[in-house]
Structure 1
Amino acid sequence: MITNLRLRTYIGLNLEEKNKKQDIVLNIEVHYPVEEACLNDNIEDALNYKVITKAIINHVENGRFLLLERLVSSVLRITVDHRWVTYAKVTIDKPHALRFADSVSLSLSWQK
């Protein structure tokens, strides 16, 4: 699980949101067969979270999104790109998007 990955991107509909990057917080759950990695302690048998995270960072920080839905679905696609992944869930929070609320968030999941 990748927990509380804090990034900045352009997200939103109004002019201010389109012209100023905003903070977002990503939580990503990934399942894959871990038996071999647990038994052998071999890096070749483990999913490389660094590769996935770097791809997500590049996509998010260099992208522009009108809708949170589009952002979450695109991050989910990157997360499940590896053939070993059997399940993934992406939750993205947009802090301070609503007055009197800590954040607005959306979760999407995928299962093989």
Structure 2
Amino acid sequence: MNFNLATIKIKNLRLRTYIGINEDEIKNKQDVVVNVKIDYDAEKATNTDDMSDALNYKTITKAIIKLVEDNRFSLLEKLTADVLSIAAEHSSVRYAEVEVDKPHALRFSDSVSLTLSCNKTG
């Protein structure tokens, strides 16, 4: 049996960063919630059961945490694009999608989110 395309989902990664352009946003870290979807060619990993043939989601998650928590962002677009770059950087990735939520960004709203994706096939 041949299993080729795998999907990894990192769900509700709760982090804190400086995000926004208002004075209080520049001075104070805020919560963000990151969701990542990565489709990759897992044929080798499904056949060998060897970690070196798989996409290491722990390594990806650590890189996302470092990026988000160690930097400042004015725009949700920039934050989301930078996370997407990490999610899509491995050569076996075919498609990646990142959604970043900024809870309580608007009055009367649970959150505001932005989603970006990239398709590396064809």
Structure 2 length-normalised TM: 0.89
Which residue pairs with 1:31 in the alignment?
A: 39
Which residue pairs with 1:93 in the alignment?
A: 101
Q: Give how far 1:36 is off.
A: 2.2
Which residue pairs with 2:85 in the alignment?
A: 77
3-state SS of 2:118 partner? strand
Q: Give how far 1:83 is off.
A: 1.1
Structure with the larger strand share: 2
- The CA distance in 1 between the partners of 2:50 and 2:114, in whole Å, is 35
Note the alpha carbon deviations across 1:16-35, whole angstroms, 9 max, x for none.
00000000000000011112
1:16 is the counterpart of 2:16: no
Q: How many residues align?
A: 112
Q: Give how far 1:84 is off.
A: 1.1
- The CA distance in 2 between the partners of 1:53 and 1:86, in whole Å, is 18
- The CA distance in 2 between the partners of 1:48 and 1:24, in whole Å, is 23
Note the alpha carbon deviations across 1:15-62, whole angstroms, 9 max, x for none.
000000000000000011112212321111110011111111111001
Note the alpha carbon deviations across 1:43-97, whole angstroms, 9 max, x for none.
1111001111111111100110000001000110111111111100000000000
User: Sequence identity of aligned pairs in percent?
Assistant: 58
Which residue pairs with 2:52 in the alignment?
A: 44
Structure 1 length-normalised TM: 0.97
3-state SS of 2:80 partner? helix
User: 5+ residue gaps in structure 2?
Assistant: 1-8
User: 5+ residue gaps in structure 1?
Assistant: none
Question: For the aligned residues, what is the CA RMSD?
Answer: 0.8
Which residue pairs with 1:111 in the alignment?
A: 119
- The CA distance in 1 between the partners of 2:98 and 2:31, in whole Å, is 16
